[in-house]
Amino acid sequence: MSFIATRSALRSQLRPSLARTFASTPAANAQSLKDRMAELIPKEIENVKAVRAAHGNKSFGEVTVDQAYGGMRGIKGLIWEGSVLDAEEGIRFRGLTIPEAQAKLPTAPGGSEPLPEGLFWLLLTGEVPTDEQVKGLSQEWAARAELPKFVEELIDRCPNTLHPMTQFSIAVNALNHDSAFAKAYSNGVHKREYWKTTFDDSMDLIAKLPNIAGRIFRNVFGDGKLPAIDANKDYSANLATLLGFGDNADFVELMRLYITIHSDHEGGNVSAHTGHLVGSALSDPFLSFAASLNGLAGPLHGLANQEVLRWVQKMRSQIGENASDEKVAEYVWSTLKGGQVVPGYGHAVLRKTDPRYTAQREFALKHLPEDPLFKLVGQIYKIVPNILLEAGKAKNPWPNVDAHSGVLLTYYGLHQQDFYTVLFGVSRAFGVVSQLIWDRALGMPLERPKSYSTEAIKKMFEGK
């Protein structure tokens, strides 16, 4: 047998032992996330029963014809446990605002931004984990990170001209090949046990996303060579290393913040709702999240940060650096008068500045206060809301998360804008799969809202 074949065989023998090795580490002596979920689920089932018994026949509110035609905007019709979006104060992750999450969630040694591992624990349990529990998650995800060989080959065979998000979706779909949930369902597992293999698949999915994203990035924009996952590093540090930025401590901190604030934004946005909808058909987490990615790839959702950066860069090229407020205002007005929107401003729900924008602005003020592009973004922040109010173009003239993220990424040298939505996708997995686990634990049904035709609506209101 050749050396390569021998090494391959040895790796195959060792791979199943990785999880067992993790189980013997000091960090694993703390209660695991799955064990904690097993404790919480029976209590939450009873809690849901009590809520339905007390409030099940009460109305959330009316649904208007305009809402039906307007993309179901504002219709109350979903259960989403991980986060709730308030129009005035922004997102709360299990009750915590972004500043509160930054203050309470564990950080890396020497770091100040929350670790996404802690945010995932919070989304699932509603509890702030310990440093030891977060370390255990980092190690478990590192142990689960290896991709099946055929998935690596599938990514490698994609042409460089295929959009990174398309490649991302293809690879995630392909992970369905090894779905623990699909196998258990096929074997007739009891529905009360659905959540356990959904949890296992979800952990595998999150763990493998950095390798998928890194492989796509290196193939499309680099030499195709990928470093190994480091079991001693946290999730964001490994992702940064796979992208080629692991030696920059500030970029690693940015990834920790980026993943945390992009992870979840309640259940009505396209990517979250799509994952929930497809998952309600008992599709496994890989198929469900691949569907989320396809929604996230759209210009009205995850692609927006890319559009913002291009608009800002085009503005700078036309009016120059250190332009006056008057020049910036003229450019904004020219955008509006040209029949275009100002990208990155306005939100379907929010009516104040997005706290995710604020968190990124504070990061920039700390790490890159003199960057010319950041200064321009700050100038735009000062000018655009008043113009939008004067033009009557927006109920919410304030910036959202997309108005800032591209500037941070490009500052650290990540100029490949077509890849930005992939990073968004890595982040959004945390919220989508945490809810999917709870959907299975609570026995949530197939989603099937009622629809009407335009003619049916006309008949409905005839003579009224």
Active centre residues (catalytic): 301, 347, 402
End-to-end Cα, the chain, rounded Å: 83
Backbone angles phi, psi at 460, to 5 degrees: -60, -35
* Size of the chain, expressed as the number of residues it contains: 464
Sheet with 90-93, side-by-side order of all strands: 83-86, 90-93, 96-97
3-state secondary structure of 69: helix
Helix 402-411 with 372-391: angle, nearest 10 deg: 170
Please, which residues have CB within 8 angstroms of residue 102's CB and are 6 or more apart in sequence?
112, 113, 114, 260, 359
Please, which residues have CB within 8 angstroms of residue 406's CB and are 6 or more apart in sequence?
305, 306, 308, 309, 312, 417, 420
Supply the DSSP symbol for 443.
T
3-state secondary structure of 399: strand
Buried b (16+ CB within 10 A) or exposed e, 283-301: bbbbbbbbbbbbbbbeeeb
Cα pseudo-dihedral 143, 149, 150, 152, rounded to 10: 80
Burial (CB count within 10 angstroms: exposed 0-12, middle 13-18, buried 19+), residue 408? buried
DSSP 163-212: -HHHHHHHHHHHGGGG-HHHHHHHTT--GGGHHHHHHHHHHHHHHHHHHH
Please, which residues have CB within 8 angstroms of residue 327's CB and are 6 or more apart in sequence?
319, 320
Question: Please, which residues bridge with residue 345 across strands?
Answer: 399
Residue 231, token pair as written in the block: 């079991």
C-alpha 310/C-alpha 314 separation (Å) is 6
